Amino acid sequence: MTLDESFRELGLSPGSSDADVKVAWRRLAAHWHPDRNASPHALRKIQRINRAVEEIRQWRASGYADLQRTPEAPAGAPEVVVDQQVSITLEEACAGCSRDLHGEVVEDCAECRGSGREARSSMCTRCDGEGRARSHFWFPWLAAGGPCDTCAGRGVVHAACSACSGQGRTRPRKYRCRIDVPAGTRHGETLHVHARVQGRQREHALHLRVSVELQQHDVFRMEADGTVQCAMPVDGFAWMAERWTEVPSPRGLQQMRLRRNALTYRIKGHGLGGADCIVTIEPLFPAELGAEQQLLIDRLIAGNTGARGTAARKRMDAWQAQLAGRIRRQAPP
Q: Which of 52, 94, 101, 161 binds Zn ion (CB under 5 A)?
A: 161
Rg (the chain; Cα; Å):
38
What is the smallest separation between the CB atom of 124 and Zn ion, expressed in angstroms?
3
Q: Return the number of the residue (86 or 133) whose C-beta is nearest Zn ion.
A: 133
Check binding of 169 to Zn ion (CB under 5 A): no
Question: Applying CB under 5 A, which part among 6-14, 22-30, 76-84, 155-163 lies near Zn ion?
Answer: 155-163
Q: Which of 126, 158, 196, 200 binds Zn ion (CB under 5 A)?
A: 126
Helices (H) and strands (E) in the chain, counts: 7, 15
Measured in residues, the chain has a length of 333
CB atoms within 10 A of CB 151: 21
Q: Return the number of the residue (164 or 195) whose C-beta is nearest Zn ion.
A: 164
Q: Return the number of the residue (121 or 211) whose C-beta is nearest Zn ion.
A: 121
Check binding of 164 to Zn ion (CB under 5 A): yes
Q: Return the number of the residue (119 or 284) whose C-beta is nearest Zn ion.
A: 119
CB atoms within 10 A of CB 170: 20
Q: Which of 67, 94, 148, 179 binds Zn ion (CB under 5 A)?
A: 148
Check binding of 133 to Zn ion (CB under 5 A): no
What is the smallest separation between the CB atom of 135 and Zn ion, expressed in angstroms?
14
User: Coil, strand or helix: which one is 291?
Assistant: helix
What is the smallest separation between the CB atom of 62 and Zn ion, expressed in angstroms?
23
Dihedral sign for Cα atoms in the order 44, 46, 49, 50: negative
Question: Applying CB under 5 A, which part among 16-24, 163-171, 216-224, 283-291 lies near Zn ion?
Answer: 163-171
Question: Applying CB under 5 A, which part among 19-27, 47-55, 159-167, 283-291 lies near Zn ion?
Answer: 159-167
Q: Under the phi-then-psi rule, with left for phi > 0, alpha for psi from -120 to 50, and beta for the rest, what region is 313?
A: alpha
Site for Zn ion, residues 81 to 110, rule: CB under 5 A: 109
Q: Return the number of the residue (140 or 146) whose C-beta is nearest Zn ion.
A: 146
Which residues partner with 229 through β-bridges? 221, 278
Q: Which of 32, 111, 179, 281 binds Zn ion (CB under 5 A)?
A: 111
d(CA 15, CA 4): 8
User: Coil, strand or helix: which one is 58?
Assistant: helix
What is the smallest separation between the CB atom of 204 and Zn ion, expressed in angstroms?
18
Instruction: Please choose, from the candidates 52, 51, 33, 53, the residue with its C-alpha nearest in 3D space to the C-alpha of residue 43.
Output: 33
What is the smallest separation between the CB atom of 81 and Zn ion, expressed in angstroms?
24
Burial (CB < 10 A; 0-12, 13-18, 19+), residue 147, is middle
Instruction: Please choose, from the candidates 16, 203, 10, 204, the residue with its C-alpha nearest in 3D space to the C-alpha of residue 101.
Output: 16
What is the smallest separation between the CB atom of 161 and Zn ion, expressed in angstroms?
3
CA angle 288, 289, 294 (to 5 degrees): 150
Site for Zn ion, residues 212 to 241, rule: CB under 5 A: none
Residues in contact with Zn ion by CB under 5 A are: 109, 111-112, 124, 126-127, 148, 150-151, 161, 163-164
